[in-house]
Amino acid sequence: MAEDPYKVLGVQRSATSVATGEYQFTFLPVGVYRVEIRAAGFRPEVLPRLVVEVGRTIVQDFQMRVGDLTETIEVISEVPPIERSITLGQIIDQRTLQDIPLNGRQLLQLALLVPGSITPPQNGFLTTPSRAQGSQGLNTAGNREDTANFQVNGVTLNDLINNILVFQPPLDAVQEFRIDNGSVSAEEGRNGGASLNIVTRSGTNQFHGGVSAYFRDQALDARNLFTSTTEPRFERQQFGGYGAGPLARNRTFFFVTFEGLRQQQGLPVNTVVLSDAQRAAITDPVIRNVSALIPRPTTVDERGVARYVGAADAPVETDRFAADLAHNFSAADRLHTFYALQRDWRREPQELGNTIPGFGDVRSGRRQLLTLEYTRAAGPQWVNQARAGFSRIAFDAQQNGALKPADYGLDTGGHATLGLPTFNVAGAFNLGGPPNLPQARTDTTVLVSDDVSVTAGRHALKFGAEYRRFTYNAWFLDSGTLNFPSVAAFSSGTANSFSLILGDRAAYITQDAFGAFFQDSVRVAPSLTLDLGLRYEWNITPSERDERFVVFDAPTASLRRVSDGADVYRQNDDNIEPRIGVAWDASRNGRTLVRAAYAVTVEQPLVNAVANLTANPPMGTPLTLTGSVPVATAFALAAGGGGLSPITVDPAYRNAITYRWNVNLQREVARGTSVMIGYVGARAGQLRLTRNINQPVSGTRPYPRVSLQSSILPGTPLSNITQVESSGESCSSRAAASSAATAVKLEIGVGNT
């Protein structure tokens, strides 16, 4: 007989109902429980199997009968498909995780099963899949992908540079996960969009394990009927296994898993290259040297343009390890810890814009996650849950074509560059660079929180607080970018623009956040539940350890270094977030539920809003040169007379805020099957935008030069000034209908951002 995937051993709780009969259990680990009801003068009732799932509120009523305590009534009941809570969400259980075949075995692929989710665009801001590692964001219920909050055992797994999912735990390590599309309770903070909570898998009193192996090969794929060329190489092997069991029967349990991936992939290349006649017409000695890096044409298209058709290698290697340990100190005290580690390496020949083989970058990463959770039932009505967590990504990227500029006749004027500048020829090809490489960074998040649950009569109270610290430690070098309007301009060695950032742009940025909440779920009547919540969020303004922040001060047209403890932008310490919801059992038998909710949520600002401030003088020097730019002397001309292009942030920068509401009706139409139809709406303000505040007006820039009163580069010409501000707005609305049993969904929605 197969093991019950939900079973949790050694967890025992007791509670006493109030005079009106209400009772409550909170902070239960997911699993299957046996429920026993006893009272003097009544026959005991036993429910042998109650499934508790992540984030779900289960209502289980009992009707006791007068009788002898020695007589036991066994209650046969199943968890109803209708959830009596205000949250709009859905659970993906372990059976779904294990049974549905997934191309690549990535967790977020299953998010598409949740009503309201859409297939993400392959070129989206965060939804572009990393090769062999899946997407790092999701689109659901009209939310932007950079507003989602990813949690493992209640600990955030977001990276505050782009707000992406740091990495996806191995499927074998996941018990189940839940996506809440809206109407989150006051317990949830940090993000304004969807919330995805992953619960990891623990061991049981039985030793068990398994091994797996998956492969894909181009020999098994159909040939593309629309091309006569050889299909690029593709080979993938995924392999792994897991083991679980008790370390001390009924008290301590372990679960470990490993998954490896090796992939060899050839990416199709079809790019314009130089014809023999164009090579012969090259007059610039630097371009003549660089042209040796451009392959000879393999074909000529119908327009007579020389093209190279081939493939570029993009290998990937990934190893993922995870371990889960659970220990019951007593029936009322439980410690749960989880650790995951991922090592990955890959070559990306085209992702940063290169079209000529041999360039791109080589990336390696080391990603870690640690969660600690201690739960103590202090009595029949009091439960405390304390959490601590740590996540880190150490990332390194190097130029694949690390070529010395001097070998090609380029004088960089002493600028530290480990590769050629990017040569971008409009409508033709791109080689060299890529820009902003090499680079390395380490992003670290530390979190501690404590929540308390109290039952008081008809009230189920929760309150708690959370503190988070994110640290960004990085450096970048830039090899510059040369833009050419045509192949003829490239051949003559004359670009129309050159951009370059001098310096290593080192940064050590810390951003903290504090949140506190209070939530009251009151059962006003047997068929009516009211949820009232309030959350406070302080998104503390980031700081730089070595005072490297330099901003452009518009009133004085000067560059100003943020120092002496000054804030780079205002403190977002005035976030009050009310949450209210109502759930009404219209049929009074749990088969028809009407819900409505309203919530205000705020978004923690991303660190990348200020990360580039360390590229401004004197820490770095972002230069832009336009007009007729000779390739051989581009570096010297930019350093000697190029226009400065600083990046700045609005001193009144605000965190984004979202107002969210919904109303829905859910009806059980058959045993285990329900249909829901609802409306979800949202309006967001204070969204992040970037704009050039030095755009020429009637041919004149508002800020032609750095003010002579500035202590940093006074009198230097100014080109573009990119400002990060919070002036954006968006709205969305969506009507949706879904069947919980068949996972069939129908959606109609409109929205804009």
Q: Which residue has the tokens 């950032």?
A: 501
Give the closest residue to 255 by CA, choosing from 242, 241, 267, 268: 242
> Which of 283-297, 400-414, 725-739 has the highest mean predicted lDDT (pLDDT)?
283-297
Query: Which tens digit of pLDDT belongs to each residue from 662-698?
Result: 888 888 887 767 788 888 888 889 999 999 999 988 8
Would you say residue 153 lies in a domain? yes
Residue 52 included in any domain: no
Q: Answer with the residue of higher pLDDT: 455 or 25.
A: 455
Which CATH number fits the domain that encloses residue 94? Answer: 2.170.130.10
Closest CA to 609 of 648, 658, 561, 573: 648
Give the Cβ contact number of residue 696 at 10 Å. Answer: 12
Q: What is the average per-residue pLDDT within 34-53?
A: 72
What is the tens place of the pLDDT at every residue in 489-501?
A: 999 999 999 988 8
SS3 364: strand
Taken in order 542, 546, 552, 556, the sign of the CA dihedral is positive
User: Quick one: pLDDT at residue 741?
Assistant: 39
**Domain stops at, among 201, 224, 247:** 201
Look up the CATH number of the domain holding residue 633: 2.40.170
- Rounded Cα gap, residues 462 and 120, in angstroms: 35
φ/ψ (deg, to 5) at 285: -65, -35
Both 680 and 557 in one domain: the answer is yes
Is residue 149 scored above 80 in pLDDT?
A: yes
Asked whether the predicted pLDDT for residue 19 surpasses 90, the reply is: no
Mean of pLDDT over the chain: 84
Task: Indicate if 590 and 706 belong to the same structural domain.
Answer: yes
> Is residue 606 in a domain?
yes
- Do 268 and 193 share a domain, yes or no? no
DSSP of 296-321: PPSEE-TTS-EEEEEEEE--EEEEEE
Q: 646 near 550, Cβ under 8 Å? A: yes
| Same domain for 190 and 137 | yes
Strand pairing report for 252-272 and 550-553: unpaired
Share of the chain above pLDDT 70, in %: 86
Shared domain check, 723 and 662: yes
Query: Do 481 and 583 fall into the same domain?
Result: yes
Average pLDDT score over residue span 369-385: 90
Q: Which of 364, 371, 401 is nearest to 385 (CA)?
A: 371
Answer with the one of 184, 201, 218 that is the final residue of a domain. 201
Count of structural domains, the chain: 2
Which helix (H) or strand (E) segment holds residue 639: the answer is: helix 634-641
Give the CA angle between residues 240, 242, 247 to the nearest 5°: 155
Coil/strand/helix, residue 621: strand
Asked whether residue 605 falls in the same domain as residue 734, the answer is yes
What's the full length of the chain, in residues?
753
Domain co-membership, 396 together with 506: yes
Domain boundary among 171, 201, 231: 201
- Do the bridges between strand 459-476 and strand 439-456 make them parallel or antiparallel, or are there none, so unpaired? antiparallel
Residue 192 and residue 215 in one domain: no
Residues 179 and 237 in one domain: no
For residue 82, being part of any structural domain is answered with no
Stretch among 75-89, 100-114, 250-264, 316-330 having the lowest mean pLDDT: 75-89
Among 367-371, 565-569, 588-592, the least confident range: 588-592
Instruction: Evaluate whether residue 147 is within a structural domain.
Output: yes
pTM: 0.85
Residue 381 resides in a domain: yes
Point out the least confidently predicted range of 46-55, 73-82, 231-240, 589-598.
Answer: 73-82
Lowest-confidence segment of 116-125, 136-145, 543-552, 599-608 by average pLDDT: 116-125
- Is there a contact between 26 and 222 (Cβ–Cβ < 8 Å)? no
Please give the share of the chain, as a percent, with pLDDT higher than 90. 42
- The answer to the question of residue 57 being in a domain is no
Structure tokens at 638: 């930019």
Q: Give backbone dihedrals phi and psi of 681, rounded to 5 degrees, phi first.
A: -130, 155
> What number is the average pLDDT over the span 359-365?
92
Residue range of the domain that includes 189: 88-201
Do 245 and 341 belong together in one domain? yes
Confidence of residue 127 (pLDDT cuts 50, 70, 90): low
Residue 323 included in any domain: yes
Q: Are residues 116 and 179 in the same domain?
A: yes
